[in-house]
Amino acid sequence: MPIAVSSTRALADVGHLVRFRAGSLRRRRLSAGAMVGFVVVSLAVAVLPGLFPDAGADDGWALDLLLLLPTMLTGFLALAIVSATASGGGRELIARDPGSIHPISPTTDHLGALLLVPLNIAWLLQAWTLVGVTSYALGTDAALPQAQLIVVLWLLATTAVAQVVAWTIEVVRRVRHGIAWVRGIGVALLGVAVALHLTANLVPVFDRLPTRWFVVGMVSDSAPRTALTAVVLLVAFLAATALGAVPAHLAAHRPPRDEQDVETGHYAARGRPRSELTALVRTDRASVWRAVPMRRGVAVLALAPGLVALAGGLPWEQLTILPGLVGSGGALLWGVNAWCLDGRGGLWRESLPVPPGVVFDARAYVLAEFLLVASLVTVALGAVRAGVPSVAELTALLCTVVVVTVQVVAAGLRWSEQRPFAVDLRSARATPAPPVVMVGYSARLALSTTLTGLTFSVLARVPEWQVSVLVAVPFLAWSTARLLRTRRLWVDPVARARVVTAVAV
């Protein structure tokens, strides 16, 4: 029987859940330090770019970035919608199964999801970019504080609006033929974007969007005009926050059809595997590719950067950045806590007469395969308009894909052994680790893979293709050594028992 819970009660419940999650943190001092670091970095990004020599100039980069601000605001809204939609309405403040025994209302779930949105490295990077660009574009102008206030309100309002859109799409997914409708709408929107780009109308459409009105409010000398802009965004944030509870309730009263289709589906038996490794690879592969969050996540990771590269016509030396972004994002779907795929089945798997090293090899192989599929799709899309590559460019790109894949697999399996968590990844909104931990993982992966991509981007300009191969060797040697060390730890029965016991709770 549905229980009506007021907004005040929902806010109180969010507070209880936040305290519960905070109390379960293993390294509270590290988490507190991370929060302090977040505040310090945010303040630095908001202030330091405005102190650069050319900041706030009437020409050059400062003026160009100021003119691009309306488009960047639109881009942030689009990113927020895609991210929330792919995760089925947002992140979970408490997992679905443990939360099922508590009277947690859909409103509480909705507010908790909004609260967790900033704990996403993609959201953080885009938000810091907007704040930093605004600071550089205005410099030490007196309008900078009010402009930064408008930017922060824009971040809040667009995130809440994106959450409403995501919950609404989740409701559509859960009606009859809803999955087909959502896919059709996505293909139609993609077709419209491609048509606008091919007809050179994409930029003019962005220029005519109403986001220019908000930028004018940022830099206006009229206090009433700036106040009106702030009030509009604040009202939009509050209205979207309240409105989001409506589709959240509607979605909560309908079963998730895509998840049910996977769990109740029938799969034909395959032939007898030739080896133990083949049998384990089949099992792990099915666990990954049949999971709804994996399929949604890899589709977004593979297509979004590739389509951006396709639309922007990135050259080959810049395509080397994409495999790192896709690889780190793919690992965050499950690779940073790879053994949680087994769940309670990990106890059963431990009883099988299979050497533990083979189990590790199968999991590493499937993770590498998962990352390679996403990276190759992205590269293939970006290569459509990149022209014919030189041997050096193609070698640098291939080396990047291989190096980043091994690098991410080694890091993910190492973290999976060091900090295992019991997570049910059947839910489309589940994450393989707590939100604060995920921020740390994503930041470390993004930093290392981006530096790797930049290294090979420089090498792509070197005429001798052998240089990229020579540079890739120490990268691969280092990552392989770390991967083999993690494998030795997994073979140890005490270490393995600790991981299996943790994920099987």
Within-domain flag for 24: no
Same domain? 283 vs 378:
yes
Residue in the block written with tokens 């970035």: 65
Within-domain flag for 130: yes
Same domain? 306 vs 246:
no
Within-domain flag for 14: no
Same domain? 283 vs 219:
no
Query: Average pLDDT of each block of 10 consecutive residues along the chain (505 residues)?
Result: 57 78 67 73 84 80 83 85 73 67 79 82 82 86 85 93 90 84 84 76 75 87 89 94 89 76 70 87 88 81 79 80 87 90 84 90 94 90 84 91 94 93 77 82 86 90 90 94 94 92 85
At 262 the three-state DSSP class reads: helix
DSSP assignment of 308-356, as one string? Answer: HHHHHT--HHHHTTHHHHHHHHHHHHHGGGGGGGTTTHHHHHHTSSS-H
Nearest 5°: the CA angle 391, 395, 397 is 120
Same domain? 255 vs 205:
yes
The model carries a pTM of: 0.81
Same domain? 471 vs 379:
yes
| 350-384: pLDDT as tens digits | 888 899 999 999 999 999 999 999 999 988 888 88
Cα dist. 257→82, 226, 262, 438 in Å?
A: 20, 46, 9, 27
Within-domain flag for 266: no
Within-domain flag for 267: no
Same domain? 199 vs 233:
yes
Same domain? 349 vs 460:
yes
Same domain? 167 vs 316:
no
| pLDDT score at 239 | 94
Q: How many domains, the chain?
A: 2
Within-domain flag for 254: yes
At 84 the three-state DSSP class reads: helix
Same domain? 287 vs 158:
no
Same domain? 393 vs 292:
yes
Which of the listed residues 230, 261, 292 is the one where a domain comes to its end?
Answer: 261
Which of the listed residues 216, 235, 261 is the one where a domain comes to its end?
Answer: 261
d(CA 368, CA 274): 21
Within-domain flag for 7: no
Nearest 5°: the CA angle 95, 98, 102 is 110
Return the biggest CA–CA distance within the chain: 76
Residue 342: give the domain boundaries. 272-503
With contact defined as beta carbons under 8 Å apart, do 218 and 142 qualify? no
Same domain? 230 vs 329:
no
Same domain? 248 vs 283:
no
Which of the listed residues 214, 237, 261 is the one where a domain comes to its end?
Answer: 261
d(CA 80, CA 31): 25
Within-domain flag for 9: no
| pLDDT score at 143 | 80
